[in-house]
Amino acid sequence: MQTFHYHFLETNKELKAIAVRIREIFDVTADKVVSLTEEVETDVVVRHSPQNSIPELGTSGQYSKDARCIDIYLDLDNIHLKKNFETEVARTLIHEYMHVVREQYVPWENGTLLDSLIAEGLTQSFELEVQPELPPSIYATSFTEKELDDLWNKAKAILNQRGWVNDEWFFGGDNIKRWSGYSLGFKLVQNKIKESGLKSSELYKLPSANFLDKK
């Protein structure tokens, strides 16, 4: 079975010149992520889309379970992306593929806040597992330990909350700073990794509650 099916939007003329390069990065990355987890047939759609890219990175992505599709957005004019093209394109595929395999066991698209925190913590930890030479992503380390403790105190009362209201934990809202959920989820998963001695690729099948400290 071919695991990944790549699609480069034909209307994005900017992609034509680098489509072969992106495909080569994907192929190398795909071998790594599948060997560490499992094979799930997935479409990967790539588009030049500055408005959907993270300004600090020049990339972003999302996974849709219904279509079993990873969307990857690139801002080909972004300075950071130009300087770190291979690592950031690979990192985005690594991140989104962990969502793909995690979703097979713990659905999170309509899950709880805890499900979303753990899902994002796993993706960021998987980035480090596959790219150990790189530092954690900026959205994984945006807060001090004191700030993370304060976020946890706020989150633990609503861990079973479902719905779009949880989005503010990741993208920011009136009372929640941008990337709060990413950094808090990263801490929760990293704590589990240290406590268990296991890697993210060995933990992704676990229920979300198993990542909480039982003490």
For the chain, the structural domain boundaries read 4-103, 113-211
**84: which DSSP letter?**
S
Position 13: which residue type? K
Please answer whether residues 191 and 213 qualify as being in contact, where contact means their C-beta atoms are separated by less than 8 angstroms: yes
Q: Structure tokens of 132?
A: 């150990």
Q: What does the alpha-carbon distance between residue 88 and residue 21 come to, in Å, rounded to a whole number? A: 13
pLDDT of residue 1: 65
Q: What does the alpha-carbon distance between residue 83 and residue 120 come to, in Å, rounded to a whole number? A: 25
Relative orientation angle of helices 113-130 and 180-196, to the nearest 10 degrees: 70
pLDDT of residue 199: 98
pTM metric for this prediction: 0.95
Encode the chain (215 residues) as per-residue pLDDT tens digits.
688 999 999 888 889 889 999 999 999 999 999 999 999 999 999 999 999 999 999 999 999 988 789 999 999 999 999 999 999 999 999 999 999 999 999 987 779 999 999 999 999 999 999 999 999 999 999 999 999 999 999 999 999 999 877 899 999 998 899 999 999 999 999 999 999 999 999 999 999 999 998 64
pLDDT of residue 110: 78
Q: What does the alpha-carbon distance between residue 92 and residue 96 come to, in Å, rounded to a whole number? A: 6
